[in-house]
Amino acid sequence: MQNWINAFSWLNVRFLLMGLWVTIYISVISVILSFIFGSILGIIRYSKIKYVSQVVGFVIDIIRNIPLLLIIFFTYFGLPNFGLRPETIPAAIIAMTVFESSMIAEIVRSGIQSVSVGQMEGARSTGMSFVQALWHVVLPQAYKNMVPAIISQFVSLIKDTSLATIIVVPEMMQHAQVIYGQNANYILPMFAALAVLYFVVCFTLSIIGNVIGKHLS
């Protein structure tokens, strides 16, 4: 019991919460960037532009099929060979964005495809260009369908930031490791804290996603 009280001293709790803040910071920035890049890539893949869409599609498939951990290593240890030397937090954001953009691109593509073909044809027949029809008619409907999938992707992004601990990003998992590194008796309390904190953040978001999903449909 004394171990638990010592493990959760104010200093340690504050340190853990600072880690949680970095976790959320990395996740939010990455999800915003991924949303932008993912949308562009998804639309390109959907648009069937000769060669371009195929190449984009293939790159997306490759990124979706390798472990995020590999992308994190590649960003942090590989980029310096090309003269780029990102700090740990930017490296984590780059890696997460590369990975999540591909995930979101697939969501966007299948979201657009789920809007009936008649919508596009109807819009085009009123004289709209392809881009206008996409922007004003198809995309608003597609994004409405995508909200739950994107939120669940956001939840997995938050969980995945824990992997960034391997390049010593000062996020929650890393901070927990620093705390239990001082005293082995803190290991169990720290894992309990990690489980609870991640669960609360992710589960709350999942519920919000479900509510929005039900509300929209």
Partner 1 sequence: MINIFAKFSSQLLVGLGWTVLSSIIALFFSLIIGTIFAIMEVLPSKVMRVIGHAYVEIMRNIPLLVITMFFYLVIPMYVVKINGFTAGTIGLTLYTSAFIAETIRSGIQSVSNGQMEGARSTGMTYWQAMRYIILPQAFKIVIPPLGNQFVNLVKNSSVLAFVAGFDLMYQANSIASTTFDTINSYLVVGVLYLIVTLPISYYMRHLEKKLG
| Interface residues toward partner 1, by CB under 8 A | 61-62, 64-70, 73-74, 77-78, 81, 155, 159-160, 162-163, 165-166, 173, 180, 184, 187-188, 191, 194-195, 198-199, 202-203, 206
Contacts 24+ apart (CB under 8 A), 36-40: 37/97, 37/101, 37/104, 37/105, 38/100, 38/101, 38/102, 38/103, 38/104, 38/105, 38/107, 38/108, 39/104, 39/105, 39/108
How far apart are CB 135 and partner 1 at their closest, in Å?
28
How far apart are CB 105 and partner 1 at their closest, in Å?
14
Nearer to partner 1, 47 or 206 (CB): 206
How far apart are CB 136 and partner 1 at their closest, in Å?
29
Q: Which of 149, 138, 133, 172 is nearest to 27 (CA)?
A: 172
How far apart are CB 94 and partner 1 at their closest, in Å?
15
Nearer to partner 1, 36 or 196 (CB): 196
Nearer to partner 1, 80 or 122 (CB): 80
